[in-house]
Amino acid sequence: MKKTTTRLLTVILAVVICVSLAVPALADYTAPDSSVTLSHNPEYNISFTLTGRTFAVNGLPQTGDFRVLWLQIERNGVLVFESFAERGADSRASFTLNGLGAGKYEVSIYHAPVYYTTYHGIVWGSALTLNWTGERGAFTESAALSRNRETYSSKRTDVAALTYYLAPSRDIQSDNKDIVALANTLTAGITDDYRKAVVLHDWVCNNIYYNYDALYGRVPYGDTSAAGVLKSRRSVCEGFTNLTAALLRAVGIPAKRITGYALGLTVGDAFPRNLWTDDLSNHAWNEAFINGHWAIIDSTWNSDNSWEFGAVTDDGGLRSYRYFDAAMESFSFDHAILDYSESGIDRTVNAKKKTAVPFTGRLSFNGAAVTPAAYTVDGSTYIKIRDVAALMNGTESSVDVGYIGASNTIVLNTGAEYTPNGSELLPVQGKNKSVAVPQLHITIDGVETYLMAYSIDGSTYIKLRDLGKALNFGVDWDSASGTVLLTAELISQLADDSATPPAPR
């Protein structure tokens, strides 16, 4: 389902009912009475705070179109208060709510480059509501928030689950050659997964059009799979979601398709009472595993593109980042997540029997031959993390290895000296082994991270190239000698390179 088109307001003459001039930023910090964050995206980290009579908009982008803010407060659709403020150097704009009587209100915020022009909405309608005493107040919590938090926090982030959310599926064809080529082209030269996700999301918002003809039943929905939407360039929310997930998976970012209920164009402004008992759904969006968490992404609602009556009716493209890595408190204003089962994940990821073959090639580290415990699975090399840690000790890629049994978590701390336990660099013995994707968590410097891993003969082996990327050491292949080449800078070499060269004689 599509959210109502971005609300645009044009200021010709401002009629002020209860006007408040903007106030400067407070010199001393005072904890707010209430706050709401829109997104965790550093490019759109906007939040609202209430401190006494001061209403502040924080984290505003330092771009021209966010220079002027317009606050409107309504009661039951009737405007009772409005005010303008300019964004400060601290990315903040604030208003004093003088003269606003006690009651419950709907709050709207709009932004523009100058005062007298068309304004674009940040929040509007009944999404953000305020309970006000006349002197201070609090933002109202969404009816969907507690259930959304419960559902979201209960979902898996282990290796098996993340592997499952990387695999292509019927409607999310992340192995389609056109999708793979597009994803790789868009993210070429980008190493950070968060930035990759932003770029892929932006492409969908700018190039796919919401099909209102299909929404209103004038034409069939057509092919809403990722491949189908890439070809037609228009769809409803399901198609936006499938293509976003496919592009993310194509570059190695685990991604989900989530279904739920959204308040918007064809429904009212309140969640139905039977929403959770009857599993009502009318919308779809994504979650992508980046920066150690499932980031909520709704590319449908972040796009202003539309198609109706057989033609493009709006090509505004990317609207904002409000629904990219959305904060749960504000996301719950208009989205309700329906619960879903993950009980079949382990069976699915291990349905295709795979074999681990003892690695028989050569492996060198900084030019010297080494013999770590390693296997080959599906043409890729998997190695024990402790063997890698032993090799990298004393280099810029040094890492210590720990394990938390209660949560089945491998803990990697980069830059730390490795403490050996005597099991390192012992080549594997014997025949081929069966493999399984483990219910294992991996953290690097406290952030949960996806590294492809298998449980082989009772031990965990991690994909060598994944480790190289995560720990910043080189992994290459010399086909002439059949050797895997590992390289890392020695700390002593780094120190020598940074030393001041002797003066010439």
Local structure of residue 446 (DSSP, 8 states): T
Residues contacting 169, CB < 8 A, separation 6+ = none
On whether both 424 and 308 belong to a single domain, the answer is no
188/233 same-domain check: yes
Which pair of structure tokens corresponds to residue 189? 């030269």
Per-residue pLDDT reduced to its tens digit, 196-226: 999 999 999 999 999 999 999 999 999 999 9
Give me the CATH number covering residue 274.
3.10.620.30
Quick one: 180 and 41 in the same domain?
no
For 249-264, how does the pLDDT look when each residue is reduced to its tens digit (9 = 90+)?
Answer: 999 999 999 999 999 8
CA distances from 150 to 155, 277, 295, 451, 455 (A): 9, 16, 15, 26, 30
List the structure tokens of 359: 């690695």
In a domain, 476, yes or no: yes
Both 107 and 177 in one domain: the answer is no
Q: What average pLDDT does the structure give for the chain?
A: 90
Is the same domain home to 189 and 302? yes
Structural domain ending residue among the three candidates 331, 348, 365: 348
| pLDDT tens digits, 344-378 | 999 999 998 899 999 988 999 999 999 899 999 99
In the chain, the number of structural domains is 3
Residues 108 and 93 in one domain: yes
Residue 305 β-bridge partners? 315
What is the rounded average pLDDT of the residues 317-322? Answer: 93
Question: Pick the residue with more confidence: 125 or 400?
Answer: 400
* Comparison of pLDDT for 312 and 495, the residue scoring more: 312
Q: What pLDDT band is residue 5 in, cutting at 50, 70 and 90?
A: very low
Does one domain contain both 340 and 191? yes
Domain match, 181 and 215 both: yes
Alpha-carbon distances, residue 384 vs 366, 405, 427, 437 (angstroms): 18, 18, 10, 15
**Within this chain, do residues 380 and 479 fall inside the same structural domain, yes or no?**
yes
199 is in which domain, residue-wise? 145-348
Tens digits of per-residue pLDDT, 271-312? 998 888 888 899 999 999 999 999 999 999 999 999 999 999
Percent of the chain exceeding pLDDT 90 equals 80
Same domain, 162 and 290: yes
Does a structural domain hold residue 276? yes
In a domain, 502, yes or no: no
Given a cut of 70, is residue 8 above it in pLDDT? Answer: no
What is the share, in percent, of the chain residues with pLDDT greater than 70?
91
- Angle formed at CA 439 by CA 435 and CA 444, multiple of 5 degrees: 105
505 falls within a domain:
no
Question: Last residue of some domain: 298, 321, 348?
Answer: 348
Question: Is residue 335 domain-resident?
Answer: yes
- Which of 348, 363, 396 terminates a domain? The answer is 348
Question: Can you give the pLDDT at residue 227?
Answer: 98
**The pairing of beta strand 209-211 with beta strand 234-235:** parallel
Band the pLDDT of 181: cuts 50, 70, 90: very high
User: Is position 3 within any domain?
Assistant: no
Domain CATH for 31: 2.60.40
What integer pLDDT is reported at residue 209 of this predicted model? 98
Q: Residue 113: CA atoms inside 13 Å, Cβ hemisphere, count?
A: 3
**229, part of any domain:** yes
> 430 or 171: whose pLDDT is higher?
171
pLDDT tier at 14, thresholds 50, 70, 90: very low
SS3 assignment, position 416: coil
Across 23-27, 168-172, 230-234, least confident range: 23-27
49 occurs within a structural domain: yes
Are 283 and 319 contained in the same domain?
Answer: yes
**Is 165 found in the same domain as 71?**
no
